[in-house]
Chain A
Amino acid sequence: MDLNALTECLVSASCMVTQVTSGFIIGMLLFLVAVGLTLIFGVMKIVNFTHGAFYMLGAYFAMTVFQFTNSYGLALLGAAVGACVIGVIVERLFMQRVYGGNVLMQLLVCYALVLILDDLVRIVWGPEFKAMGMPDAFRVPPLFIMGGVVPPFYLFLIAAALAMAIILGLAIARTRFGKTIRAAAHNPAMVSVLGINTGLLFTGVFALGCLLAGLAGGLAAPVRSLTPGMGFSILIESFIVTVIGGMGSILGALVGAVLLGLIRTFGALGFPLFTEALMYLAMAVVLIVKPSGLFGREAA
């Protein structure tokens, strides 16, 4: 334990700027994955254990597109669209068969799909770890804000993820698709009675979730090493986020993700050996105090 370092940081502006932004960096990527997870759970009532695989696919697609086009914009597009397309295929072929079924059976199908997707990545891209490399535009010295260090790429990353969060929030609140999603989350039977094609709606929600996860993968690709199975750790953390924030709540996912990011960065200062355990502890505490999560609706 190193509480001195933690208290020293809390009173220093430069340290606060650096740590808070790095908390946001971790948090915003996590949010993009977690929000898909929470949407899918909200509408289809299924815990999508394959979600990390789409993050992985996004990162690999981004790398490949970047290699051929040398454009990071196209790489991000490729990551999002690619993951989305695979998501539609997976949803149509497999996930649709397990909606509303036995929770354990859903889990088993997801587990199988993760094994398959990981191995397919291994066959296509090889078992060795890869790195995409930083796009030229971001290969610039970091900015200094109030003495804190902030790399421009991470500013872009936070901005992109925040923009997605806002667009998503508006879309859910204002558009017809968004209203249907909210209605379906609230009362699925009613939605189908109203003549809405739930099959199409489910595919749409799943695809949206995969698109966001793929985008997160694309955003992470320049700084994280790419390996088959890389989706796993972010999946676990996203679960913690959704559980803390409340399953099905978008705002919860945002707050939970940022909270987790801050726990990581400040935890690293104060409790360098127990950063991981702190996350689980946070989850356990939230679940015991408020089992439905910070922003969850129904009481459990």
Chain B
Amino acid sequence: MSKPSSSKPSSSSINRRGFLAAGAVAAGTVSMPWVAGAQAKTIKVGMPTILSGRVAQLGTSSRNAAQMEVEKVNAAGGLAGRPIELVIRDSKGQPQEAARVARELVNSDGCEILIDAEASTGAFAVHEVARDLGVLCIHTNSETSSLTADPKLRLPNAFRCARQGIHDSAVGGTYAAEIANARNLTRWATCSPDYAYGRDTTAEFVMYLKRFAPKVEVISEGWPKIFQPDYTETITKLLQAKPQALYSCLWGGDLTSFIDQASIYALFSQMQFYAVNMADYTALTVVKNLPAGIHSGNRYVKTFPATPQNAAWGDAYRAKYGEYPTNWAWQNGVVINFLAAAAKKADSADGKKLADALRGLKIDSPLGADGTITMRAEDQTIVGYAIGWGTTIAKEPYVPEMKSTPWQRIFELEAEWKKEKGFA
């Protein structure tokens, strides 16, 4: 078991430092303003994430990747000479806990930066905390486009270092439409989890698909609940509808359950399957009999981008933690790289100066489509990360070839979408 040992660095360092500097922080209710003074050198970075419940695996991978990158940054001198100390807390995936933990990290633990490694609901709650406290906050796991796209929600001190639903859909829609046109796939069905992410992502995918393949018709929709254990009713409904292709943005254990259950109905021999969240090691390695030829977007695979740097990053992570990184992992690794680069540019670890430096910052990254990722200034979210679609095979490298869409094209599609939504 690699997990418990990997957790040690954070908790033990919190405890030891906390005790040495200020005595027992006891029940966590009394703040010690002098703690910050005693350790002016280290900069505390708070990280609320989900370490228990159904998505604990993703939260753990977020923590792992962030720690791996922090070690590198600290070895190189930290943020403007101040070593980073990550303070990681479990929100259990509840928004009110996420808000509480985030406030506590800033108010009583003295964190000067928040890396919000929450899923979407938690992220919106932490976003309000960032608004209240004015602390530099970077969302790393929420893919809900409106978080940064909606100008009403925008804050000067809040950024996002994560992929975005609208980007995924633009690429996926383009990719799927090409195949639909070539093979004359006109009857489509969708099966996605019934919550905001599932609904939005599916609607956006279908919008782009229909636009580039006008003959496409969606003849059946299934909306299972998130974390629903049994998909039989949705599967049989799909069998009745007899579509030629199926789109799904189920993810994690829900996706693998769906595949296992659909396989025994031989569903995948009857229709093409487009599952945007398939190409993630957590799902790829768990499904025992992965049907070949599932079309998927990239979450994280070490073969895309097909560069030695990316492969090395994936392998280094695996060597350290005993499993491959997840999509959440790369996002939380990259955010540390961004902070380091911003501190260098600003020659300071001050939140405001870092925020100024982050706007429009371009860094080298193995996860970039062209080896770089940019923090776009206008909406403070990352662009230029690797994004593509390909088909699966049952063993490593699972997705031998990914097709990417040029970012210039994604920008055009995104701009149109923003206009339609009234965001721009």
Contact = CB atoms under 8 A, between A and B. Distances in A.
B288 A131 contact: yes
Contact of A272 (B223, B229, B260, B288): B223
Interface in A73-131: 122, 126-131
B229 A220 contact: yes
B230 A128 contact: no
B367 to A, nearest CB: 22
B405 interface: no
Contacts of A275: 233
Contacts of B235: 22
Nearest to A59: B229
B260 A131 contact: yes
Interface string A14-47: 0100110011011001000000000000000000
Given A26-B232, A273-B223, A129 B256 contact: yes
A127 B60 contact: yes
Interface residues of B, number: 41
Interface in A242-300: 264-265, 267-269, 272-273, 275-276
A131 B286 CA distance: 6
B32 interface: no
B174 interface: no
A119 to B, nearest CB: 8
Given A22-B232, A129-B253, A273-B194, A268 B237 contact: yes
B264 A223 contact: yes
A147 to B, nearest CB: 11
Given A138-B264, A151-B264, A269-B237, A225 B57 contact: no
B1, B221, B236, B265 pick with most chain A CB within 10 angstroms: B236
B65 to A, nearest CB: 15
Given A129-B57, A154-B264, A265-B236, A225 B253 contact: yes
A127 B257 contact: no
A169 interface: no
A294 B253 CA distance: 36
Contacts of A146: none
Contacts of A191: none
Contact of B266 (A126, A142, A268): A142
Contact of B282 (A128, A133, A134, A142): A128
A141 B194 CA distance: 30
Interface of A: 5, 9, 15, 18-19, 22-23, 25-26, 29, 122, 126-134, 138-139, 141-142, 149, 151-154, 220, 222-227, 229-230, 233-234, 264-265, 267-269, 272-273, 275-276
Given A122-B56, A223-B260, A233-B227, 8 more contacts: A19-B236, A22-B236, A129-B54, A129-B57, A134-B288, A134-B289, A142-B266, A265-B236
Give 4 closest A-B pairs by Cβ, nearest first.
A133-B288, A129-B253, A225-B253, A268-B233
